Amino acid sequence: MKLFRMLLIVAATWLLAQGAAFADDALLKPFVLGSKGAGDFAAKVEATKSALTANGFTIAGTYSPYPDTTIIVVTNDALKANAAKSEHGGFGAMQRVSVVKAGSEVQVSYTNPVYMANAYRMAGDLKDVSASLEKALGRVEEFGAKGLTEAKLRKYHYMFGMEYFTDPSKLAEHKSYEDAVKAVEDNLAAGKAGVTKVYRIDIPGKQETVFGVAMKGADANKNMDDKYIMSEIDFKDIKSAAHLPYEILVSGNKTYALYARFRIAISYPDLSMMGANSFMNIMSCPEAIRKALVQAAGGTI
């Protein structure tokens, strides 16, 4: 009888440990749906901006890549402080909020700060930022993937041979940080290679600046065009427009971008390799994006 009780205790302890381990390995998804429902699109955009600023966020820029879609890029002191403590942390110095009219409803969604903090291997988990966004915009559900654990996100790549977060594209090298920033500013203002500026965020205490960029390509160069790429990959009922815009990072005198096989995959980790609405349909896009960003950064292809 004593042996039986001991076995029960051992079994119960094991089950509790498994439950705790499962809780620690909670699955994270790239986006959060804040709200959806009937409403006026333009009014919802303005209401969303007001809610964000009322909850401590600064609007760094807005972007409308196609009709009925507006992306609001925000930052705050917590995001910038975490970026300052993280290698190439500028990639995570912002969160992106999308307002999309899809059919008869307006959806407000945003990037999941905890997911992105792990995907970009940041020093902090940004749970405080997540709570602030939830307070501002609501939280219906996470979406965009079956889900990944923190551990898997911190070493994520789409498949064998594809890039990790630690494999960004080096776009250009300049004589100084100031020269690098000026080159990006000037080229974005000129719309070089179809790339223009959406926002700029300077990271405190370090020579690092992140630019959000819009990409528009003509028919001959559609593979770097935001609208074209999103028409292939953002096809589900709940829209993931907060994937945009892309980033150019100036760190010291060098300029980087996350390679698109990582940057797209981290937002769409469940996108199939082949078939309709698959990576195969945009297989030429990562290199087209890299080349456009190289030119925007003042580099040489």
- Say if residue 21's pLDDT is above 80: no
Confidence grade of residue 4 (pLDDT, cut at 50, 70, 90): very low
Structure tokens at 243: 């994937």
Q: What is the DSSP string of the chain?
A: -HHHHHHHHHHHHHHHHHHHHHHHT--B-SEEEEEEES--HHHHHHHHHHHHHHTT-EEEEEE-SSTTEEEEEEE-HHHHHHHHTSTTGGGGS-EEEEEEEETTEEEEEEE-HHHHHHHTT-SS--HHHHHHHHHHH--SEEESSS-B-HHHHTT--SSTTS--TT--EEEEE-SSHHHHHHHHHHHHHHTGGGEEEEEEEEPTTSSEEEEEEEE---GGGGGG-HHHHHHHH--SSS--GGGPPEEEEEETTEEEE--HHHHHHHH-TT--SSSTTSGGGGTTHHHHHHHHHHHHTT---
- Say if residue 244's pLDDT is above 90: yes
Summarize the confidence of residues 186-209 as an average pLDDT: 98
Average pLDDT, rounded, for the chain: 92
| 17 within some domain | no
Phi, psi of 218, deg, nearest 5: -70, 175
Nearest to 207 by CA among 170, 254, 175, 258: 254
- Say if residue 20's pLDDT is above 50: no
| 221 within some domain | yes
- Say if residue 105's pLDDT is above 90: yes
Report how far residue 132's alpha carbon sits from residue 235's, in angstroms, rounded to the nearest whole number: 29
Determine which of 9-18, 62-71, 112-121 has the lowest per-residue pLDDT on average. 9-18
CATH number at residue 86: 3.30.310.70
Q: 151: which strand partners? A: none
For 36-50, the pLDDT digits (tens) are 999 999 999 999 999
| 87 within some domain | yes
- Say if residue 6's pLDDT is above 80: no
| 83 within some domain | yes
86 vs 19, higher pLDDT:
86
For 130-148, the pLDDT digits (tens) are 999 999 999 999 999 999 9
> Is the separation of the CB atoms in 147 and 229 below 8 Å?
no
Instruction: Supply the pLDDT for residue 92.
Output: 98
Instruction: Supply the pLDDT for residue 220.
Output: 74
- Say if residue 184's pLDDT is above 70: yes
| 80 within some domain | yes
Rounded to the nearest 5 degrees, what angle is found at the Cα of 266, between the Cα atoms of 258 and 146?
A: 175
Residue with tokens 């996100």: 153
| 278 within some domain | yes
- Say if residue 284's pLDDT is above 70: yes
Summarize the confidence of residues 254-280 as an average pLDDT: 95
Instruction: Supply the pLDDT for residue 219.
Output: 76
| 201 within some domain | yes
Domain membership of residue 191 as a residue range: 28-145+154-296
Instruction: Supply the pLDDT for residue 301.
Output: 87
| 86 within some domain | yes
Summarize the confidence of residues 55-75 as an average pLDDT: 98
- Say if residue 246's pLDDT is above 60: yes
Number of domains in the chain: 1
Range with top average pLDDT, 7-16, 99-108, 211-220: 99-108
> Is the separation of the CB atoms in 129 and 76 below 8 Å?
yes
Instruction: Supply the pLDDT for residue 25.
Output: 60
Instruction: Supply the pLDDT for residue 170.
Output: 98
pTM given for the model:
0.90
